[in-house]
Amino acid sequence: MVKAMVVAKLRGARDRKRRTGVKVEGRKSIAEQKPETVEMARKLSRARPKGGKRSLREISAALAAAGHVTKPGNPYAATAIKLMLDVK
């Protein structure tokens, strides 16, 4: 009885928050946790001295050299860089 009331109350609160357009559940993305890392990745993907595009691994290496690494201290994977660049 009490558990059902708590569950209903929390569900209602999540639904109200979701209607405001705010993210309610799920893990935070890199863009939400570290927006400066995403911004630097975008700059690196655009800027190349002699033209052409940097590879995702080159961007990852440049981010690591600038101190932008994952929680365990590893450089970002190429797929993580791709997700950063695809975020609107």
Question: pLDDT by residue (tens digit) across 30-40?
Answer: 888 899 999 99
Domain count, the chain: 1
Question: pLDDT by residue (tens digit) across 41-50?
Answer: 999 888 777 7
| Per-residue pLDDT at 8 | 95
**For the purposes of burial, counting CB atoms within 10 Å of the CB of 82, is it exposed (0-12), middle (13-18) or buried (19 or more)?**
middle
| Per-residue pLDDT at 82 | 94
| Domain, as residue range, for 33 | 2-86
| Per-residue pLDDT at 88 | 65
- The DSSP line for 6-73 is HHHHHHHHHHHHHHTT---SSPPPHHHH-HHHHHHHHHHHH--TTSS---HHHHHHHHHHTT---TTS
Question: pLDDT by residue (tens digit) across 49-87?
Answer: 777 788 999 999 999 999 999 999 999 999 999 999 987
